[in-house]
Amino acid sequence: MALGFALQTCAGLWAFCSVFTASGTTRHSEIPLISYSAIPIIVGVLLIAAELAFQLPKKRAHRRVVADTIQNRDLTVILTAYNDELSIGPAVADFLGHPGVRRVLVVDNNSSDRTSEVAAHAGAIVIREENPGYGRCVYRAFEEALKYTDTELILLCEGDMTFRAFDIDKFLAYIPHASIVNGTRIVEQLRDRDTQLSTFIYYGNFAVGKLLELKHIGRGTFTDVGTTYKLCRASALARLLPHLDRRVNLEFNAHFLDTALENGVDIVECPITFFARVGKSKGGNVNNTRALKVGLRMIAGILMSWRILVRE
Ordered by start, the domain boundaries in the chain are 75-307
The answer to whether residues 224 and 254 touch, using CB atoms and an 8 Å cutoff, is no
Q: Identify the weakest region by mean pLDDT among 26-40, 74-88, 215-229.
A: 26-40
Q: Share the mean pLDDT of the chain.
A: 87
How far apart CA 291 and CA 283 sit, in angstroms, is 9
- pLDDT category, 17, cuts 50, 70, 90? low
How far apart CA 171 and CA 182 sit, in angstroms, is 8
Q: In what order do the strands lie in the sheet with 267-271?
A: 125-128, 101-108, 75-81, 153-158, 230-233, 180-184, 267-271
End-to-end CA distance of the chain: 40
Check pLDDT > 80 for residue 65.
Answer: yes
pLDDT for 289-301, tens place per residue?
999 999 999 999 9
pLDDT for 222-249, tens place per residue?
999 999 999 999 999 999 999 999 999 9
Taking CA atoms, 275 is separated from 83, 162, 163, 189, 216, in Å, by: 18, 5, 6, 11, 30
Domain at 75-307: CATH architecture = Alpha-Beta Complex (3.90)
The overall pTM is greater than 0.75? yes
Q: Identify the weakest region by mean pLDDT among 61-75, 169-183, 214-228.
A: 61-75
Q: Identify the weakest region by mean pLDDT among 128-142, 200-214, 270-284.
A: 270-284
Helices H / strands E in the chain, number of each: 13, 7
Check pLDDT > 50 for residue 2.
Answer: no
Taking CA atoms, 199 is separated from 132, 137, 191, 205, in Å, by: 29, 28, 12, 10
| Chain CA centroid to CA 179, Å | 16
Between 44 and 214, name the one with better pLDDT.
214
